[in-house]
Amino acid sequence: MIRLLPLILLLALACRPEPAPPAAPEPPAGEIPDYSECFAGMRQESRLVFGSGDTLDGLLRRAGIAADQRAEAEEALAGHWSLSRFRAGSALDLVQDGRGDLLCLHYPVDYFRDLCLWRERGRYRAGLFQAEMRGEPFLAKASLNGSFYEAFRDQGYSGDLATRVADLFSGTVDFFLDLRPGDRMEVLGERLHRGDRDEDRLRVLAAWLQVEDEEHEAYLLPDSLGRRRYFQADGGSLSRQFLKAPLEYTRISSGFNPRRLHPVLNYVRPHNGVDYAAPVGTPVVATADGRVIARGRQSQAGRYVKIRHSGGIETTYMHLSRFAGGSSKGSRVSKGQVIGYVGSSGLTTGPHLDYRMKVNGKYIDPRRFRSAPSTPLPEGERAAFDQALSRYEALRDSLGLLSPWAPPLASVSSQPSR
């Protein structure tokens, strides 16, 4: 059997579908090497799970892969995927021959892409493949008479649609204070199904939101890296440097007021922030990218985090119950990253977050701050974006919604998942 092994391997390689040529780093969907027939009866399969601090080299070494094969495989993979981007808790599938040599590797990057490695003519090749998808478009619409979440759910859609749209417009609309009864939302989406997975995924293609007399719009422009970027029809970016609010709150218990009567001390003193009432343990996020310049505890502020952002802006988050990992002094934090949790530490009358903002050393009302937009649509992608807009308009028309705020269709019966 050992002497026949090279011949069997040669025949096995001949029966594998031909992979994409090197000039095409993103092969067409479905061209993922398949060893299920080629190596039947003479292979061993294993699933390896990344633990905290694990590297690809460490996992392959524990699987018994020789050092020269590990080095060659990692070099091939590095041309398509950063070896530092493997996440703890994620898994990769490995196929080895009867001698333990590495034949192929499969790592699901996400629902839409797979990183694959295979051996061909004595060397390893790798590629990042787009999975083959079947899409089903839908259009959901609702008027605000309670909450958009409940409105979509009551129509048989997923209430998660409203959450996703809220995330898209989080830089310009405060969904807790700005909305009024009668405001309207429309979502053009696509339910995606991958043949080798049980669950479906939802993708928002476009969204429209009318808040009183102001209209907001978002259109998706996907790219080859799987990023979901949304722009306005004129190419302006939806993303803003700062979020409108640092948490999901129930109400504003106290606003920015230079002459507020302090509820505990009972004398007039400036309130240089906005108090967001929320249950203890509610996550608090950084409202923009920045660096933590202070974290600790004070008698009146309680547990607090202070972040410095670009443009001479500082934000402070006070009365936290506890801090989150990655928010220590000197740490870089990203917009939307959890830095702590709502509490009532310090001088308070109940659980809330006191959120403060300074611009060039002077306190301002965070709710009146106009955040700068992020980078607009690159001019070189304008043609692709125009094609996407045409597709979205055609889908909207084909679904029979000639009026932008007509009653919703009932064509989507099952709830999509993330």
Provide CATH 3.10.450.350 ranges for the chain: 5-130, 133-240+374-398
pLDDT in tens, 379-409: 888 998 999 999 998 888 887 544 444 333 3
CATH fold of the domain at 251-368:
Glucose Permease (Domain IIA) (2.70.70)
Q: What CA–CA distance (Å, rounded) separates 363 from 355?
A: 11
359 falls in which pLDDT band (50, 70, 90)?
A: very high
CATH 3.10.450.350 is right for the domain spanning 5-130:
yes
Q: Looking at domain 133-240+374-398, which of 3.40.50.261, 3.30.160.160, 3.10.450.350, 3.40.1190.20 is its CATH number?
A: 3.10.450.350
CA distance 306 to 356: 9
Tokens standing for 106?
Answer: 């499969």
Of residues 328 and 122, more confidence is placed in: 328
Span(s) in the chain for CATH 2.70.70.10: 251-368
| pLDDT at residue 321, rounded to an integer | 95
* pLDDT, position 210: 86
Between the ranges 43-47, 101-105, 224-228, where is the mean pLDDT highest? 101-105
Q: What is the pLDDT of residues 268-294, one digit of tens each?
A: 567 788 898 889 999 999 999 999 999
pTM: 0.58
Section 221-238 average pLDDT: 78
Give the 3-state secondary structure of residue 61.
helix
Mean pLDDT of the chain: 78
Q: What is the DSSP string of 238-289?
A: S-BSS-S-SS--SEEEE--EEEEE-TTT-SEEEE-EEEEE--TT-EEE-SSS
Reply yes or no on whether the pLDDT at 206 is more than 50: yes
pLDDT reported for residue 400: 57
Instruction: Report pLDDT for 341.
Output: 96
Residue whose pair of structure tokens reads 């996992």 in the numeric block: 59
**Ramachandran bin of 74, using left for φ above 0, alpha for ψ from -120 to 50, beta for the remaining angles:** alpha
List, for residues 105-137, the tens digit of each pLDDT value: 999 888 888 899 988 888 899 988 887 878 888
